[in-house]
Structure 1
Amino acid sequence: MSSDPKGGGAVSAHMTPDKQASHFKRAREARESEIIEDYVELIADLIDEHGEARAVDIGKRLGVTGATVNKMIARLKMMDLVNAEPYRSIFLTDEGRKMAEASRARHHIVVALLRAVGVDEATAWADAEGMEHCCSPETLAAFAEFVKKQGS
């Protein structure tokens, strides 16, 4: 099994079936948490910018319907990530704020990495949306270390 990223060939040739299954499982779990983290991060952004998060603003920013937003807010409320009442603003719980801060930090690390390798700012911000959810803490730490070395 070659660790050369330019080695090509079948991905499965680079790992055992169990290891590949583990990678696919991690990717599925990242996709499941991605939407939750995106909502929580956006709610934090709206609160920081405007002092509150409203369902209509969330829908506008995410490009989804009010019904979709309300469904997700109900889910986030059940997960104890937000406090919300019908026709009122949405606020993060302490757990929701922690999740938002962690997601925001990951986002900034990925943007910094993409910028360090020459990606323009607009593309880096767009591409980082999504990438941040799929990286392990070890990978993010390596990204941060790489960016730090590039700056020194």
Structure 2
Amino acid sequence: MTDRSDTARRAAAFRQTRAAHLTEVAEDYVELIGDLIHQQGEARLSDIAENMAVSQPTVSKIVARLRREGLVVSRPYRSIFLTEAGAAMAAEARRKHAIVARFLRALGVDEATVDADSEGIEHHVSDRTLAALAQLSATLEQQALKK
């Protein structure tokens, strides 16, 4: 027989995962769009498709969704730009990504794995766990410097 507190805790974890799945595509795209604008001065549909390894029609559909959600602005045959809300979402995704990547590096994980794993973890980690990862990363880095 399952304890009610176990059931409630499990249900909360599944709700959190479903909520993360709803935003992770938007977070990935706005983060990439921000990176492309920073690197190239613009984010074009073709560049996004190439970096995401998806087709241009797929990117077009997602950009339309991001536009409806107020995260990007675009015009036909023009570059795509982040709105204030999109830039804020991109900055937060980048911050989470950096903390997770730093933690994985502090554990000695190779760069290819850091890139792949931090891309998924960043969307599903809670603020409490993220703070713990940041603190532990700093501790591990300090210990490594003492050696």
Both proteins in one fold, TM over 0.5: yes
Partner of 2:104: 114
Q: How many residues align?
A: 140
CA–CA separation in structure 2 for the residues paired with 1:40 and 1:95: 10
Please tell me whether residue 143 in structure 1 is matched to residue 133 in structure 2: yes
Please, what TM-score do these two structures have when normalized by structure 2?
Answer: 0.91
- Verify: 1:43 aligned to 2:33, yes or no: yes
Q: Aligned Cα RMSD in Å?
A: 1.3
SS in 2 for 1:107: helix
- Helix, strand or coil for the counterpart of 1:16? helix
Runs (4+) of structure 1 exceeding 4 A deviation are: none
**Which residue in 1 is equivalent to 2:16?**
26
| AA aligned opposite 2:104 | L
Which amino acid is 2:18 matched to?
R
Structure with the higher fraction of residues in helix conformation: 2
Unaligned runs of 5+ in 1: 1-11
Separation in structure 2 between the aligned mates of residue 29 and residue 121 of structure 1, nearest angstrom: 28
Amino-acid identity (%)? 47
Cα deviation 1:89-136 (Å, max 9, x = unaligned): 000011111110110010011111111111012211111111100000
- Deviation, structure 1 residue 46: 0.4
1:52-91 to structure 2, matched below 5 A, reads 52-91=42-81
Residue 148 of structure 1 and its aligned partner are, at CA, apart by: 1.3
2:139 partner SS? helix
2:123 to 109, 133, 138: 133
Match of 2:114 in 1: 124
Q: What is the identity, as a one-letter code, of the residue corresponding to 1:109?
A: I
Determine the structure 2 residue equivalent to 1:4. Answer: none
CA deviation string 1:15-58 (max 9, x = no partner):
61111011011111111211110000000010000000000110
CA–CA distance in structure 1, aligned partners of residues 12 and 65 of structure 2? 27
Amino acid at match of 1:90: I
Q: Give the TM-score normalised by structure 1.
A: 0.88
Residue type at the aligned position of 2:27: E
SS at match of 1:91: strand
Distance in structure 1 (CA, Å) of the matches to 2:101 and 2:111: 8
